[in-house]
Structure 1
Amino acid sequence: MTEEKLYQLALQLVPGVGPRMARMLISHLGSASSIFKTPKGKLKKINGIGEKTAEALIQADFLKEAEKVLESCEKQGTEAIFFTDEAYPERLKHIYDAPLIIFKKGAGTLDTTKAVAIVGTRSATDYGREVTREIIQSLIPYNPLIVSGLAYGIDIEAHRAALDNALSTFGVMASGTDVIYPSVHKQTAHKMLEKGGLVTEYAPGTKPEASFFPARNRIIAGLAEAVIVVEAASRGGALITAEIANSYDREVLAIPGNLGNSFSEGCNKLIEQQKAHIYTSAESLASLLNWDLASSTKKKTATKPAALSEMASKIWDSLEKQPNGIHLDTLSWNTQIPIHQLASELLNLEFEGFVKSLPGKQFKLIR
């Protein structure tokens, strides 16, 4: 149990401080612990921080609550991963509404080269279940992570098919990792821990609420390179996930269905509105995601100079993960370097010919 981890958990508990505000505060002040140790008057000078938020941030009660959460995590084998932690999934980190903290349980890793989300109706037909299994089996050569929501229907079929075919699979939950919902999926959830696991933004002990399910869909979309919708009615969680995935510039694919089948309406509509590709085969998916080139084509990277300072080295490592450029605020968040120090260090790296500044406060390595 580290002091900084307690402050990270406490930050999530503060009313009015969501992921975006927390990100902004850390960009200004450097760490979660420094936020709570900053005087109220100084906090109020930060853009967007009002009297109520500043008052809440100087309360010590959140640390006691955070300590209980961390103790629960340790007892249950659940890992609390903060946004700036190395273990935080890279894909998820770069969505605009990424959770401040995720709670992960299981032996698998979320930061895989290939990851596909498979979602659909809870009232899956025999055809939908069969197609789900066929998709999973055809993906075996590519060894992707399979992500879904542990719900009835297509979700649980995807998890079980992944287990049957020795693929890693993660269930994104709308509850704590110790509250399996629906409870009839406990056995499957426990099997998933061996090679994959469970992930949620909710602390241990949290019971599912209706509003949590749409929110967890953004994590399903954020963790994956592509979302495949197998069966969906004209409304439902699968379509919400598809909409979110499109907003994150993820690829969305849908299985077309019979015109008279109500659980094909959503898929057909996505295709009709050009919000999804038609899923035809694992090979076409691999081509769409450039998986067929991943093993044979290696990106050229600039060689990091050995003489860089510790701060410059952190900046370099973060820039290297974003070859097309990264915003100053995001870079500050990822490195936990306050913006005024970061700007100075970036200027030095630019003078030395290692970094290029782009329009809109974006920066990238020169390769």
Structure 2
Amino acid sequence: MTAESKYIMALSYVKGLGSKSVKKLLQNFDSAEEIWKLSNKGKNSIVGLNLGIAEQIGSAEIWNLVERELEISNKYAIKISTWGDVTYPKMLQECVDAPPVVFQKGNINLEHGKFVAVVGTRKMTARGKEFVHELIKDLRNQPITIVSGLALGVDAEAHKAAIENDLQTIGVLAHGLNQIYPKSNEKIGIEMQEKGGLFTEFSSFHMPEAVNFLRRNRIIAGLCHATIVVESAIAGGAMSTATHANNYNRDVFAVPGRVTDVTSMGCHYLIKNHKAFLLTEANDLLKYLNIAPKKERKSLQKELFVDLTAIEQKVYNLLRSHGKKHIDFLAIESGMASYQLMPILLDLELKNLVEPLPGKFYDIV
């Protein structure tokens, strides 16, 4: 670890100084070391910096915590990365609220293809469990890393399925890496470190508190190119992961279920409100990630027999004439708002005429 990284780490330990504030300070000073060594006069000159925070910057107490953390990390073979390090995940660093410091354990290859989050309820159904295993089995031999939260239910099954199919898998924890919670998943947490590992923004001094689990969800979304919600209630934790992914402009998928199932209501909400693409099989994901080859284009004669509404035909003709286009282009050309276009594009997708692509682009099949 560089000296600068230690100072960034020290700033991250200051209570009341969030990641956005640390980033703002670094934009106004030459280095974290300069900030840490500011005189009282220098700290008082920073607009918006209250006395409580100012007193912590440069304190021996916090510096001792940093030194202690380095000792613990060395003991447990934990790797520490800060903003700008080559070992800091690029996808996560793109996020506006990316943490200044992250911790890794195991053999994580950050350059291994596409990272995909598979998340959902702790109280998963037998159908949900079967779907997770079938989905990940169908991703075998693909350049994909499965990311989840090592919780009970969907998370644990996603990690298990990844291990069974020799895919790299990463568990994002809501506490320090000197422990694994829940204890029932300790065996999985150890196994996954052979090909993948554990990841967190929390130091060894953080316990698995409820508030940390919601914070953890943004890290899952931030690491990934896409997020899949398998099963979730309307207020499930996986819904917050989907929200973060949408905010980061990453693709979100949801698996449909029976309309009466509480564990599918969150997924239906995401699909119905155009916050997620419908996913029923691995190929739906692979197309978005540009991994699987496109299906052969249908012949015009076959297309003529598909029953389309006037507006569906208009949108379809736009894509036939112009090829792959962003939804904003289609909105302008059709004279409709994007939110009005989404259900039309979904209907065309279900009729196997149109396919959605990453970044809200569309093309004909």
One-letter amino acid of the structure 2 residue matched with residue 7 of structure 1: Y
CA deviation after TM superposition for structure 1 residue 111, in Å: 4.2
Checking the alignment, whether the CA contact within 8 Å between 2:56 and 2:62 is kept in structure 1 is no
Checking the alignment, whether the CA contact within 8 Å between 1:226 and 1:252 is kept in structure 2 is yes
One-letter amino acid of the structure 1 residue matched with residue 74 of structure 2: E
SS in 2 for 1:211: helix
RMSD of aligned residue pairs (Cα, Å): 1.6
For residues 79 and 31 of structure 2, what CA distance do their matches in structure 1 show?
19
One-letter amino acid of the structure 1 residue matched with residue 75 of structure 2: K
For residues 269 and 2 of structure 1, what CA distance do their matches in structure 2 show?
46
More off after superposition, 204-213 vs 44-53: 44-53
Q: What's 2:271 paired with?
A: 271
- Per-residue CA deviations over 1:324-360 (Å, capped at 9, x if unaligned) read xxxxxxxxxxxxxxxxxxxxxxxxxxxxxxxxxxxxx
Q: Name stretches of at least 5 consecutive residues in structure 2 with no aligned partner.
A: 294-365
Query: Where does 1:174-213 land on structure 2 (aligned, <5 Å)?
Result: 174-213=174-213
For residues 273 and 135 of structure 1, what CA distance do their matches in structure 2 show?
24
For residues 122 and 175 of structure 1, what CA distance do their matches in structure 2 show?
18
For residues 15 and 215 of structure 2, what CA distance do their matches in structure 1 show?
18
For residues 197 and 177 of structure 1, what CA distance do their matches in structure 2 show?
10
TM-score of the two chains, using structure 1 as the length reference: 0.76
For residues 111 and 83 of structure 1, what CA distance do their matches in structure 2 show?
17
Residues 218, 111 of structure 1: alpha-carbon distance in 2 compared, 3 angstrom cutoff: farther
For residues 89 and 111 of structure 1, what CA distance do their matches in structure 2 show?
9
SS in 2 for 1:252: strand
One-letter amino acid of the structure 1 residue matched with residue 3 of structure 2: E
For residues 24 and 111 of structure 1, what CA distance do their matches in structure 2 show?
28
Runs of 4+ in 1 over 4 A off after TM superposition: none
Q: What's 1:31 paired with?
A: 31
Checking the alignment, whether the CA contact within 8 Å between 1:179 and 1:206 is kept in structure 2 is no
Checking the alignment, whether the CA contact within 8 Å between 1:40 and 1:58 is kept in structure 2 is no
One-letter amino acid of the structure 1 residue matched with residue 100 of structure 2: L
Q: What's 2:65 paired with?
A: 65
Residues 233, 106 of structure 1: alpha-carbon distance in 2 compared, 3 angstrom cutoff: same
Query: Where does 1:138-287 land on structure 2 (aligned, <5 Å)?
Result: 138-287=138-287
SS in 2 for 1:142: coil
One-letter amino acid of the structure 1 residue matched with residue 107 of structure 2: A
Checking the alignment, whether the CA contact within 8 Å between 1:90 and 1:111 is kept in structure 2 is no
Is 1:289 the equivalent of 2:296?
no
For residues 37 and 251 of structure 1, what CA distance do their matches in structure 2 show?
42
- Per-residue CA deviations over 1:238-296 (Å, capped at 9, x if unaligned) read 11111111111111101100112111111111111111110033222222233348xxx
For residues 261 and 15 of structure 1, what CA distance do their matches in structure 2 show?
42
For residues 5 and 37 of structure 1, what CA distance do their matches in structure 2 show?
14
Checking the alignment, whether the CA contact within 8 Å between 2:256 and 2:280 is kept in structure 1 is no
SS in 1 for 2:266: helix
SS in 2 for 1:146: strand
SS in 2 for 1:8: helix
One-letter amino acid of the structure 1 residue matched with residue 142 of structure 2: Y
CA deviation after TM superposition for structure 1 residue 235, in Å: 1.4
Is 1:110 the equivalent of 2:138?
no
More off after superposition, 222-231 vs 104-113: 104-113
Residues 122, 270 of structure 1: alpha-carbon distance in 2 compared, 3 angstrom cutoff: same
Checking the alignment, whether the CA contact within 8 Å between 1:115 and 1:224 is kept in structure 2 is yes
SS in 1 for 2:253: strand
CA deviation after TM superposition for structure 1 residue 175, in Å: 1.1
Q: What's 2:21 paired with?
A: 21
Q: What's 1:75 paired with?
A: 75
Checking the alignment, whether the CA contact within 8 Å between 2:231 and 2:255 is kept in structure 1 is yes
Instruction: Answer with 1 or 2: which has the greater Rg.
Output: 2
SS in 1 for 2:139: helix
Checking the alignment, whether the CA contact within 8 Å between 1:232 and 1:263 is kept in structure 2 is yes
Q: What's 1:136 paired with?
A: 136
One-letter amino acid of the structure 2 residue matched with residue 275 of structure 1: K
For residues 98 and 186 of structure 2, what CA distance do their matches in structure 1 show?
27
What fraction of aligned residue pairs are identical, expressed as a percent?
41
For residues 9 and 88 of structure 2, what CA distance do their matches in structure 1 show?
14
- How many residue pairs are counted as aligned between the two chains? 293
- Per-residue CA deviations over 1:90-146 (Å, capped at 9, x if unaligned) read 010011111111111011123433010000110111110110011111112422110
Query: Where does 1:74-93 land on structure 2 (aligned, <5 Å)?
Result: 74-93=74-93
